Each structure stands twice: as structure tokens, then as C-alpha cells.
Chains A and B, each alone.
Chain A
Amino acid sequence: MTYLSSALLALMQQDTPKPKVPESPHFWMPTSSSTFAEATDWAFDFVTWVSAVVTIGVVIAMTLFCVKYRATDRSKNEQPTGNVDHSNVLEIAWSVIPLPFVIAFFVVGLQGFINMRTPPKEAYEIHATAAKWSWMFQYPSGYTTNELHVPKDRPVKVIIEAQDVIHAFYVPAFRQKIDAVPGRYTHAWFEAIETGEFPLFCAEYCGTNHSDMITKVVVHEKDAFEEWLEEAERKEEEEGLKNPVAYGETVYKQAGCATCHSLDGSPKIGPTFKGLFGKTERFTDGTTAVVDENYLRESIEDPQAKIVDGFPASMPTYKGKLSNNRLRALVEFIKSQK
């Protein structure tokens, strides 16, 4: 069964085309498409130059000595031309000379790292959920996608969680990576500096289809991003309104209603949706009302207006967060919970 389902999954994932890796101008690195790519690349090149000098130096010395001091006939019993076996000056020299370099590496790496781990406060927030073997990204409106869409020239903070095992969020073009750990949030931020599509990998081994847990980041122009999001949501609504109850269920999950309102009759932070419609509710101010479309709409947009007796007044307003169509679908969904 597991084999069958994983094989099916693999098939489904093969159907979605793999992202293309954009042609890179660098030999070592992919395209530098985020604000901190340049600093990371600089650090990389710095280490590369120093490493190259050291490695080439060692190899040249080694080769030179092998050629110059080569001996082939043991019976000649040649003795070394010199027999110096220690030199404190040399030992100190080759211990101290590397020091400033490694200190510089450390400092450069630290600066870059602090920058990568400190998202600006005004960053646009997107929630990511990693699960075997796909990604889900949720935008502030509650709209979700499997590919990550972001605006160019605007800091984006991705808040990441994992549903099952450890995964890792990795966008080479942005030089950003962080593990997705079940049971806690991690975050990665970046600011894209060019539009286009870039591969997004799962970088922490997670089982059978680990290597298919690839999606893409689509970077839009700043304004085009807002348009894209609105358009995508409008399309989803249009499709959704053909079956408002099912669409309402999506909204119920996406907008976070499920956290406080159960569907099985058990009270959570707020009243259950089961059998809610048509019921008479008693409020903290002693008044009562029958639950109808207008009551539901008011409770969503202005939740503090009427507080049901026995429940805390803790619900935030959803006015402006839900479009009319989404609101309508949600009301239809609540009505359907008999």
C-alpha cells in the first residue's frame, strides 16, 4: 500500500515540470538573485583565493622537493643534504600567518550570517509548511500555493514549519537555507533582486521522494505581485463559488477558523459550528439572537459586538481580510454544518 501510494505520488510529481536552473554567470555559484548573494559570493571568493594559494603552494613545494631531492638507488646510501629537524621561527611563522586570514573569514561569515538571520521588521510574511513531499505556502490573505510567489525588491520573511520529519528550505539563487523542524517554527528571509523563476529544494533528507520535493520561487515585479495575488484569489473564488460549501471549507481551514471552532460539537475557544445555524445564542449582556446569515457576517467582521455567554472575547476581526465571496462561502459552509 505504501509502495503503491508513494509510486503514485512520484508519478503525480513527475507530471509537474521541474523548474529550470537559470543560466549562471558564475563558475561556482548560481545566479545572484537576492540582496545577500553578493556578500556570500564575496566571502566564497575570498576563501577560494586564499585556499587556491595555499593548495597550489603545497603542491608546488611537494612537486619541487620530489624532483629536486629524488633518490632512486637505495644502495648508494645517499644522506640528506641537510638534517635540520626543527625551527621554532618557522613553526611560529606558519602558525601565526594563517591567523589573520581565519579571523577575517570568521568575521566576514559572521556578518553575513547575522544579516541572513535578522529579517527586517517590515518584511512581507509568508507561512511555509513542509511535508513529505511537497511545500505549501500561505500568504497573509490565507491564499495558498505550492510554488512560492514573492515580490521583487521587498524583504520577504518565510515562517517555516514541518508536519512530519525534518525538511529544509533551500533557494540556491538566494543563498538562503534553513531547516524545517516539526514542533517549532524557523524562518528564512530574503529580498529578491531580479524577477524570474528559481528552484527551491528540500535540502534535508526526508525519505522516498526527497529528491522530488522541488518547487520554484517565482519573483514578480513589486506591483505585479499584488496583481498576481489578487488575480489568483479572484480565480480561486470564481471556481469556488460554483461549489460554495466546499470553497467555504477551504476558507475555514486557510483563515484559521479551525483553531477555535470545531465541526464535531465540542467547544474550543469559540462555539462549535455544528448545528450553529438556526440556533438561539445567549450573549454576555443577557440578550439573545437566532443565528442567521447576518449574525454570522457580523460575528466574523465585528466579533466583539456580541459575545456568546461562556466564551472569551478573544476573536480578532476579519473585516477586510476576507473578500465578499470568501465570506459568503464561509457562511454557506457554516450553514451546512447541521
Chain B
Amino acid sequence: MASTTTSPEAFGSATPSTSESYLTNERGFLSWLLTLDHKRIGVMYLMGVLFSFALGGFFALAVRTELLTPGHTVMEADTYNQMFTLHGAVMVFLVIIPGIPAALGNFVLPIQLGAKDVAFPRLNLFSFHLWLIGALFLVLSMYLSAADTGWTFYTPYSTTTTTAVIPATFGAFILGFSSIFTGVNMIVTIHKLRPPGMHWFRMPLFCWAIYATAIMQVLATPVLGITLLMLIVERALHVGIFDPALGGDPVLYQHFFWFYSHPAVYIMIVPAFGVISEVIAAFSRKRIFGYKFIALSSVAIAILGFLVWGHHMFTSGQSVLAGTIFSAISFMIAIPTAIKIFNWLGTMYQGRIFLDTPMLYALAFLWVFTIGGVTGMYLAVMSTDVHLHDTYFVVAHFHYVMMGGAITAFFAGLHYWWPKITGRMYDEKPGRIGAIIVFLGLNLTFFPQFIMGSQGMPRRYYNYLEEFTIYHQLSTVGAYLMGVGFLLAGINFYRSLRKKPDAPKNPWGARSLEWLTTSPPPYYNFHKPPVVDFGPYDYEDLVFDKKLGGYVHKSEAKS
């Protein structure tokens, strides 16, 4: 089908020359720090995100180690409170929110659109610089006296504690702007830079997911910015906004905070849906099932996501009527989410399924995210939420979604695009073992938390009643296991950079445009935008070339 119109560079040499590869065409530290190339910015984001992930993981292990026994194990209560706050703040603001949209999205999305760059390259660089500054503020707060408020910064605790809340919230404030600028860039890029022939429903689903995410980033994040600014003003100038001692209202803060932070949950998970759609289709060798439903359900989730913030506040004393409305809308969101899962299964049905590392992460995602999704229903049912709110059940639920969902999908995407980003293939075997260990570890970590949570164990507890010990210990063992899995993945990536073979253009046989260019791509991506007269999942036109270790177009194979 339509082989004549693919661009000339489509089936040339797999490896770009040194002067062409985006990795080597310019040298020196500043050529990276001041680059306008979306790929380099994406790689810098990626390094930042991976470093933050290691840091956040360290805090998580510190928390889990402390919880091995009731009472004092290795640290004091105040240190513990700082550790879980840092874990949450780093993982949310520095890892998951930028993870897929800013790191992978920056690299992949413009190439998927056949573009030379994002719409506003300078804004893109500025957004990364803001990310760096925001991250530095968070680190600065750790150095001064890390906040002990939880990542939610609830007032009036956050306005009265003696720890360095202002640098931490100011860091989050700056990171918010970074996120907004990335969102603006993605929206404009998708609207304006699509190549000839790529209408909206010919975009890869990853682009749809990033688009839905970008809308939420642009609309919701300013509210977080304003809220954190008000918190800083109250703390520094004693203007009564949230603290009742100054005439403010602490519940108002919760409304503001969740008005951002619930959409933020979807900012974190919707890009993951995009990655999973790409991976499951490519590794099932079959066109994605229900393309339009997956694409539009992301948009539906983005819209409904703005109307459910009050389900975090069923026990805050808000009225029964408010609770009723928020509960009802929360259930509505379950439907588009379920649609996606069923469509992914539909894609696998009758496919030819290759269980390579990205697919293993995607399968782990399907399993774990389903559990994360259904356990969300317990929290939307108001009567059971009253019992489960602020217990380990909630902790388990959102880790199944955020860790089992967003992070697993991030690793699926990282393994999927690694050959494209670095030009190197990683070793499959340790990759797969890593994926399996991560899957086992995360279930061992978080499943016991469901049980202790519904048994009544409150969250954010340094000390706990002896009856809960066994669950905590299982959970801690699971956390270490997960650490081993991620370490293995990290070592595998590192080794691939040193000695693994060069990657072919299209190792997985995917059809979106990034697989038409070399691995790694040249700094200009494409000489001219490819004309797109095929769908993003039309795999039947590709054949595997054993010599190249990758896929080529049918016409190319014959010649």
C-alpha cells in the first residue's frame, strides 16, 4: 500500500554520520545546555527524570526501611515525616509529571509528526531550565530543613511548621510553569506541525494522549501556582487565607489544591495510556483496536478530570450534596478508562504477540493498572471511602495507578524508544528479567497495603500498632525487590551505551514516523516532512530484514 510516497531518507542507511547524528553534531557542555533541539532537551529531561527517580526511590526505601518495625527502626519521627514528603514531592513533581510528556514526549512527538522540532523551541528550552531551577529549589529545601508536610502541603499545618516549606512550594510553583510551557508547546505543535496527509485520526495515539495531557497542564496548573503562591504569602506575610487563626479557611486550600491535583493525576496517567497504545499495537503486530474510542476517551477523561476534585474530600466535612455530585462524576470517569483496557485486549486478540521487554512492561501495566482502576471505585463509593480515606488502602490504590501505571508505562516507553534515542540495542534477557522483577516487587509492596488499609491502618504513620507488622514487612521486602528490578534495568541501559550493537531504524516494526528516520535521528529529523498516506498502525506493509535486525518496507525488501 502506497510505498511510493515515503520520503527519500526513509530506507537509507540505519546509522547517521557523526556530523548528522543529533548526539554528536555539536559538542561541548553548552551545546547541550543551550540547545534548541527538542531531542537534546528531551534527553536532558530524561536524565533529570531518571536521576530524580533514583532519588525518590531512595526516599521510598528509607520510608519502607523505617516501617520494618513499629516505633523507632532507623530514624526519628521528624526525619521519617521529611522522607515521605520528599518521596511524594520528588516522584510527583520531578518524575511522573515530566516523565512521559516532557522527556519521552519531547523526543518522540515532533518526530512522530514528521517535524523538525516543536513549535516553540526556545520556550521548550526555557521550560527545561525552569524544571532545573524548580528542582534546585526542592534540593535547597532539603538542605535547609526538608518540608514535613506531605506532598499535599495541607494548611494550616504547612503554614505553621518550622521546616522549609517556602523553598519547597516555590520549587513546585516554578515546576508548574515548566509544565505549562511544555503543554503549550505540545498543543501548538500538534495543531500546526502535522505533515501533509496526517489528519487528526491518523496521528499515533501517543500524540492524542499528549494532546489531552497538554490541555490539562495548561488549564489546571495555573491554579496550583496561585494556590502555592497564596500559601507562601500567608506563611511569609501572615495574610489570612487558609489559616483559621488568621481568619482563613483550611478547607478552601484543599479545594484549590485538588482542583489542580486531581487533573494532575490524569496529567500523570493519560500519557501512559499513549505509550501503552503504541507498545501493545506494535508488539501484537496488529492495528490498534478502537482507535477513535481510545483517542476520544483520553479527551473525555481530560474534561471529566476537572469535575471530580471533591472526591478527595468526602470526610472533610463538605456537604452531602457536594459529596453526591463528586461521587457520581467520579464513577463516570471509570467508563472511558475501562474502554481503553478492553480496546487494548481487543488489539492483542488474534495478533502475533512478541513478548519483548517493552511488551512485558505493557502487560504488567494492563494487569496492575486494572487493579489500580477498580480499587478507585471503593474510594468513589462514599460509604466505603469514609472508612478507607487516609488509610493505606488509598496509598496502595494510588501506587498501583502511579507506580504500577505511570512508571511502568514510562519504562515500557523507555525500552521501546531507547534504540531510537541512543542508537543502541539493549540486551533483551536482563531487560525482561528486570520487567518481571519489577512486576513481582510492586505487587508484593502494594498488595499487602490494601489489606492493612482496609483493616484500618492510617497512612503517614511513623509508628504503628503491632497487629500491622506483618503487612509492613511484606511491603518492605517488596520495595527492595522492586529496587533490584529497576537497578537491573538501569545497568542494562548503561551497558547498552558502552558495547551493544547499533540499533536498526525500526527494530520493532512500528509504523509511526519516528521509525522512518535513523537511530539515533539526525539533528534535522527529516529533510522534508514525510507525506503520510498510511495509518500509524498499518504494520502489514513492513517486513523483517534479518540482516538489518529491523523492519523495512515491502518495496524496499524486494529490491
Query: Which residues on A sit within 8 Å (CB–CB) of B543?
Result: 77
Knowing A79-B285, A105-B331, A166-B154, say if A55 contacts B370 (CB, 8 Å).
yes
- A287 CB-CB contact with B under 8 Å: no
Q: Which of B2-10, B53-61, B103-111, B451-459 contacts A (4 or more CB under 8 A)?
A: B451-459
- Which interface residue of A61, A94, A206 has the most chain B CB atoms within 10 A? A94
Complex CA distance for A259 and B209, rounded to whole angstroms: 59
- B546 CB-CB contact with A under 8 Å: yes
Contact of B351 among A65, A95, A112, A203 (CB under 8 A): A65
Is B544 within 8 A of A77, CB to CB? yes
Is B384 within 8 A of A85, CB to CB? no
Q: Which of B16-24, B31-39, B245-253 contacts A (4 or more CB under 8 A)?
A: B245-253
Contact of A71 among B162, B314, B352 (CB under 8 A): B352
Q: Which residue from chain A places its CB closest to the CB of B341 in the assembled complex?
A: A58
- B25 CB-CB contact with A under 8 Å: no
Query: Which residues on B sit within 8 Å (CB–CB) of A86?
Result: 289-293
Knowing A21-B456, A29-B455, A210-B461, say if A98 contacts B383 (CB, 8 Å).
no
- B28 CB-CB contact with A under 8 Å: no
Is B81 within 8 A of A183, CB to CB? no
Is A208 within 8 A of B377, CB to CB? no
Is B386 within 8 A of A207, CB to CB? no
- A12 CB-CB contact with B under 8 Å: no
Closest-CB distance, B164 to chain A (whole angstroms): 15
- A311 CB-CB contact with B under 8 Å: no
Knowing A28-B455, A181-B316, say if A74 contacts B286 (CB, 8 Å).
no
Query: Which residues on B sit within 8 Å (CB–CB) of A50?
Result: 374
Complex CA distance for A71 and B295, rounded to whole angstroms: 28
Complex CA distance for A267 and B460, rounded to whole angstroms: 46
Q: Which of A113-121, A143-151, A229-237 contacts B (4 or more CB under 8 A)?
A: A113-121
Q: Which of A134-142, A169-177, A291-299 contacts B (4 or more CB under 8 A)?
A: A169-177
- A5 CB-CB contact with B under 8 Å: no
Query: Which residues on A sit within 8 Å (CB–CB) of B81?
Result: 205, 207-208, 210
Is A55 within 8 A of B380, CB to CB? no
Query: Which residues on B sit within 8 Å (CB–CB) of A178?
Result: 315, 317, 386
- A30 CB-CB contact with B under 8 Å: yes
Query: Which residues on B sit within 8 Å (CB–CB) of A24?
Result: 455
Q: Which residue from chain B places its CB closest to the CB of A108 in the assembled complex?
A: B381
Contact of A95 among B249, B335, B367 (CB under 8 A): B335
- B51 CB-CB contact with A under 8 Å: no
- B345 CB-CB contact with A under 8 Å: yes
- B467 CB-CB contact with A under 8 Å: yes
Complex CA distance for A165 and B248, rounded to whole angstroms: 13
**Contact string against A for B residues 361-386, beta-carbon threshold 8 Å, 1 for contact and 0 otherwise:** 00100110011001101101111111
| Residue total for B at the interface (Cβ-Cβ under 8 A) | 96
Is A80 within 8 A of B284, CB to CB? yes
Is A28 within 8 A of B454, CB to CB? yes
Complex CA distance for A39 and B382, rounded to whole angstroms: 12
Knowing A27-B451, A62-B367, A91-B290, say if A211 contacts B456 (CB, 8 Å).
no
Closest-CB distance, B104 to chain A (whole angstroms): 24
Complex CA distance for A94 and B540, rounded to whole angstroms: 28
Query: Which residues on B sit within 8 Å (CB–CB) of A78?
Result: 285, 352
Is B250 within 8 A of A181, CB to CB? yes
Interchain Cβ contacts under 8 Å between A and B, 23 examples: A39-B383, A65-B353, A69-B284, A70-B353, A72-B354, A77-B544, A85-B286, A85-B287, A99-B335, A103-B331, A106-B328, A109-B384, A110-B324, A113-B314, A113-B324, A164-B156, A165-B157, A166-B156, A172-B387, A178-B317, A199-B456, A209-B77, A211-B464
- Please give the residue numbers on chain B whose beta carbons come within 8 Å of chain A beta carbons, in ascending order: 71, 77-78, 81, 148-150, 154, 156-157, 160-162, 244-245, 249-251, 284-293, 314-317, 320, 323-324, 327-328, 331-332, 334-335, 338-339, 341-343, 345-346, 348-355, 363, 366-367, 370-371, 374-375, 377-378, 380-387, 389-391, 451, 454-456, 458-467, 509, 537, 540, 543-544, 546
- Please give the residue numbers on chain A whose beta carbons come within 8 Å of chain B beta carbons, in ascending order: 2-3, 6, 10, 14, 18-21, 24, 27-30, 36, 39-40, 43-44, 47, 50-51, 54-55, 58-59, 61-62, 65-66, 69-72, 74-75, 77-87, 90-91, 94-95, 98-99, 102-103, 105-106, 108-117, 164-166, 168, 170, 172-173, 175-179, 181-184, 186, 199, 201-212, 214
Q: A55-B367, A202-B458, A205-B459 are in contact. List 16 more A-B contacts (CB 8 A).
A: A2-B162, A21-B467, A36-B383, A47-B384, A61-B345, A69-B348, A74-B544, A82-B349, A105-B331, A109-B327, A172-B455, A182-B245, A182-B250, A203-B389, A203-B459, A205-B81
